[in-house]
Amino acid sequence: MNPSAGLLYSRSPQPLYLQVATIFRRNIQRGIWPPSQQVPPLESLVETLGVSRATVRQAFGLLEREGLIHRSRGSGTYVNDELPETFKLTLPKTWVETVALSSALGTTTIMEANADMQLPASLGMDCPYSKEGSFQYLRRIHTTSSGPFCYTEVFLDREIYRLHPGRYRHSTVAPVLDELHGKELTHAGQLLTIIEAGADSAEALHLPLSAPVAEIRRFACIKERVIYFARLEIPTRYVQMKFDLLNT
């Protein structure tokens, strides 16, 4: 047994079987456990990881439901021949990329505030522009064919929302805002931070509390006033970023 295993497990608030499942999942993703191959025997994993048989079996059950492995009575556990495609979201780095990505997503509204709301006192990011005015508040889940993957809170200028409430209500906000007011936008910013999922987002995204998520905060202005602010949470396993390191 690895002598540091107990300390490693104790650092995480997640149940032990979820931590072990993460180790197994990474072994598959990295090719340490190749497709079609048998994984190490139960007793070997128990000894190596310093966990109980029940914990390993729970972890196997999770990976089996994810379509990564299958268990054959009497012959062991095997990595599946074909592995499910892992959904990846390339985070946008410009307003144009934000609009393009948002256009491809489905959206479900969890809550829509009836009363006019103010922007939060702090947007949690550098934003030197005016935050005055009334806003429509929307709390949403964005989806793909794989299910929910993004929890979102959106504040949209109330007067802008009232011009086309149906369109904003049934679509992601950025593409509609860009189509109707894109030429008027003067400033836009975005901040990415890794945080822990809270109660609302964990429930909406089917995550354990405190699971790591990428938090994206973004705003857009017309002249010197914020007319759009959004805060998104996305499980980190879905997130990737691409850069051309020689593009200045």
Query: What are the tens digits of pLDDT across the range 23-35?
Result: 999 899 889 999 9
Mean per-residue pLDDT for 127-145? 90
Model confidence at 45, pLDDT cuts 50, 70, 90, reads very high
Rounded distance between C-alpha atoms, residue 114 and residue 153, angstroms: 15
The token pair that represents 213 in the structure block: 């998520």
The alpha carbon torsion through 198, 26, 101, 197 (nearest 10 deg) reads 0
Give 225-243 pLDDT, tens digit per residue.
999 999 999 999 888 888 8
Locate the domains of the chain by residue range: 5-79, 89-240
Domain 89-240, what fold? Chorismate lyase (3.40.1410)
Which segments of the chain does DSSP mark as H helices, in order?
5-10, 16-29, 42-49, 53-65, 95-103, 158-163, 165-169, 173-181, 199-205
What kind of architecture, by CATH, is found in domain 5-79?
Orthogonal Bundle (1.10)
